[in-house]
Every structure is written in C-alpha cells, then in structure tokens.
Amino acid sequence: MEKTKKNENMIKVTYVKSCIGYNKRQAKILEGLGLTKLGDCNILPDNASVQGSIFKVKHLVKVEKA
C-alpha cells in the first residue's frame, strides 16, 4: 500500500475581494471554505466538491498549489 504525501493534491485559497454587493449565497460559500475575513487563507483538498465551490466565488478568491 502506497503512502501519500500530506501536501499532495492540496490547494491554498486566499480571500482577496469583499463579497459585499454580491449574492448572499456567495458569502455562505466563502464561510464553507473557511474564509471569514478579507486576507484569510485556507489549505483545502483538491477535489470536485472544493473545486465547484471555488468556481462559484472565483472572482473573490485567489487559488494556488499548496
């Protein structure tokens, strides 16, 4: 059985633009990603669920490989 590295398939999401003036659903998506304040960062697994959430708020966040 192969061991996987901890940082393999992880992405870093940074909250860079305020969600004020946008749909309230987008604010809830940001909370679900663990981003509450402007400038917050969170390292998340790179899977379909997270990618779908990021796609809905792509104009508010910056995504990098972790």
What is the set of domains in the chain, with CATH numbers? 10-65 (3.30.1390.20)
Per-residue tens of pLDDT for the chain, all 66 residues? 555 556 579 999 999 999 999 999 999 999 999 999 999 999 999 999 999 999 999 999 999 998
- Looking at residue 53, its pLDDT comes to 97
The number of angstroms, rounded, from the C-alpha of 22 to the middle of its chain's C-alpha atoms is: 17
Residue that has been written with the tokens 């990618």 in this structure:
51
- Looking at residue 66, its pLDDT comes to 86
How far, in Å, are 6, 40, 42 from residue 19 at the CA level?
Answer: 31, 13, 17
Backbone angles phi, psi at 41, to 5 degrees: -125, 150
- Looking at residue 8, its pLDDT comes to 73
